[in-house]
Amino acid sequence: MTRFTCQICIALFVSILLFACLVPAVIATEYSVAQSGSGFREIQQAIDFASPGDTIFVNSGMYPERIRVDKPVMLIGIDNGRGAPVIEPYDGGTAVEILAEGCTVQGFQIQNSNLASAIHVSSSGNTIAENLIKNNAAGISLVSANKNFLTGNTIIDSTRAGLILEDSRDNVIDNNRVIDNAVGITLDASSLSNHIYHNSFANTQNVLSKSATSEWDSPVVMAYTYLGRKTESQMGNYWSDYRGKDPNGNGIGNTPYTVSVSGNKNAVLSTEQAVLDLFPLIDPKEYYTGITPTLAPGVTKQLIPTPVVTLFSMGATASRTPRETGSTTPVPTYTASAVMPNLDFLSWTPALLVIVALFGIGGVVFFRIRKNNRAPSPPGTPAPVPHTTRPAQSDTGAPPRAQDMTIPVADEPDMQEPEQKSYFPPELENKYTGISYIGRGGVAHVFVARRKSDDKLVAVKIPISFDELTGKCFLNEIAAWEKLRHPNIVEVLAVNILPVPYVEMEYVPGSLGAVEKPVPISNAVHIVNSVADALRYAHSHGIIHRDIKPHNILITDDFVPKITDWGMSKIIATEMNKSSVGGFSLSYAAPEQVSPADFGRTDARTDIYQLGVVFYELVTGSIPFGGESVIEVGNAIVRETPSLPSEYNPDAALVEKIILKCLEKDPADRYQSAAELMEALAGYLDEDEG
């Protein structure tokens, strides 16, 4: 054997060894996004730089941007002590648009997409999990999107619908809370074979569906514990407008729930085939624990194949079972360990062997030099933060990023991202600590913080902007609110315009909007009586609220209601400012707010009407007037007679007359004051105490 032949053999042998070492090196990378001290400050910048299969961890903070996910990446929100990261689009458009297949979006708060959907999906095989989605035109919309998995999300306060499916098939929607939206979920006629179960729907209109083949109950029998009793049954969804009974005590209604195709909950499809939830839940899903699937005798339904994706939970080391997640389908593994990529090695192994053999050690050395001498990034460009790497997870088989690629430079490198306490003025940070963003109202951002002076937990409102109109609205709210001191009104603690305009008020953790309804009649009466007492006090000081609704009634830990958000209040006293701030929540609007030409101007009796709507919802779980459009809702408020509360809840007959008097179209026919309403409630309270 010649020396040259030996060299060739050695080169081939070394090349094969190097190939064996290089194969596991086809790995994905993890990147970190934070508003300071991290590789990237913008989520989109990290996505643009990432390769298919990479994972992007986004830390707590406010991210005022629109996200476009055009490659299969995992986008994971991390709460590192300051709450879930918040995505809020700067222009009210879609917050997160998913175009690629095999993506994950998990652990975010997504809000204020006022003109579009918080998350818009137009691809397949994605997972959207454990997000809080609130105050959007729509929560999650699937358009021509198949085999996606939606689980563990909370979707609230959508003006159109919480979930929208258009021409989308074989999606699994499981274990979500969809509450206080105009419509809970809508499906068009082309959205077929979707599987929707174990969700809680409590909305103005829960469902509008034209899908003849979607299923609304679990595909297998579930073993679970309900009110301390272990039992088994297939499980559907919780519907706030369901009126069935539970004679067996297993938490499953004795009659099916008819999925609606219009405002009429008893409607059926145009095919004359009723679509039913055969196993509706009597209570919201939180009441059912220890859930695990089981195939009982005689049950032939099989488990629905879940999209092959992986969810990541920081610190998790063991997989989560369906019992732990409440899912009735095979649940993707929650793990922080590596997952081997879905790559077809056989298709490119021979070519790689030939290339490595031809170039030999020299080629391998050149490749390694090329990799380790990547062109330097321009000054100021963020570099990815090193993490433990994992094999790529890609269905596309896309090759790794070119090794000489540099990190892109922002178009405006001098533009600074907002600080981690987004919108909170640095001038006030000497007053507060532990600052956390809560949300946004009409004219102000709201934060919870601790005063440094006494460590008291307070809420702080900061104007969104300081233009003339916003300033007037903000000052009007302060003027109306600051003078009110009542145990059932959120108290303003401090007001100042220096160093910047802000309002400090007592912090109340919950709201009536988040309370599951209906509630026991006695509880409803006590809540309404307390709110009426606060209105009596405010009216006596010349102030009406004009936007009484569950989300404007906060609830303390002791279940004491407190009215908040007096930004729409109107000064009655003639010596005060006579201007008013327009706007109201249509679902709770009084006839005079919808049609002042027919019913006159708003006054204290407007608050009585709105409190009547809240009372109706508390005892029935539904609002008295709904519809598929603003016009339908407005017409119903002005012209229609509400259904009797006792038709929904027989126990409501005890307070039915009181509620209906509050809801009279003509203000002259209602209770003429909050004190008069309290007198009517006193009879019930006396009987209840007796």
Give the Cβ contact number of residue 301 at 10 Å: 13
Q: What are phi and psi of 205, to 5 degrees?
A: -130, 120
Find out whether 624 and 616 touch, Cβ atoms under 8 Å. yes
The first and second tokens of residue 407, run together, are: 């990190």
By percentage, how much of the chain surpasses pLDDT 90?
45
Least confidently predicted of 225-239, 395-409, 419-433, 442-456? 395-409
CATH 2.160.20 fits 31-217+235-284+309-325, yes or no: yes
Find out whether 254 and 246 touch, Cβ atoms under 8 Å. yes
443, pLDDT greater than 70:
no
- Mind spelling out the 3-state secondary structure of 229-242? EEEEECCCCEECCC
Highest average pLDDT, of 210-224, 241-255, 603-617, comes from 603-617
- Please, which pLDDT band fits residue 225 given cuts at 50, 70 and 90? confident
Distance CA 402, CA 686 (A): 78
- The superfamily in CATH containing domain 426-506 is Phosphorylase Kinase; domain 1 (3.30.200.20)
- CATH architecture classification, 511-689: Orthogonal Bundle (1.10)
Find out whether 322 and 235 touch, Cβ atoms under 8 Å. no
pLDDT of residue 13: 53
Distance CA 253, CA 134 (A): 30
Three-point CA angle 553, 555, 561, nearest 5°: 60
pLDDT of residue 170: 94
420, pLDDT greater than 80:
no
Give the Cβ contact number of residue 51 at 10 Å: 18
Q: What are phi and psi of 606, to 5 degrees?
A: -65, -40
600, pLDDT greater than 70:
yes
pLDDT of residue 302: 43
Q: With 0-12 CB in 10 A as exposed, 13-18 as middle and 19+ as buried, what is 249?
A: exposed
Residue with tokens 């959120």: 490
* Residues making up the chain, counted from first to last: 690
Find out whether 307 and 148 touch, Cβ atoms under 8 Å. yes
In sequence order, the 6+-apart residues with CB closer than 8 A to the CB of 618 are 517, 518, 519, 523, 524, 527, 528
243, pLDDT greater than 60:
yes
Least confidently predicted of 105-119, 369-383, 560-574? 369-383
Domain range list for the chain = 1-26+343-374, 31-217+235-284+309-325, 426-506, 511-689
Residue 157 Cα to chain centre, angstroms: 9
Compute CA distances 506 → 444, 458, 484, whole Å: 16, 5, 13
Find out whether 528 and 614 touch, Cβ atoms under 8 Å. yes
> Hey, do 31-217+235-284+309-325 and 511-689 end up sharing a CATH topology, with the first three levels equal?
no
pLDDT of residue 220: 87
- Residue-wise pLDDT tens digits, 290-325: 888 875 444 444 444 444 333 333 333 222 222 233
The 8-class DSSP code of residue 629 comes to S
Find out whether 170 and 149 touch, Cβ atoms under 8 Å. no
- Please, which pLDDT band fits residue 588 given cuts at 50, 70 and 90? very high
Distance CA 618, CA 559 (A): 14
The first and second tokens of residue 672, run together, are: 């003429």
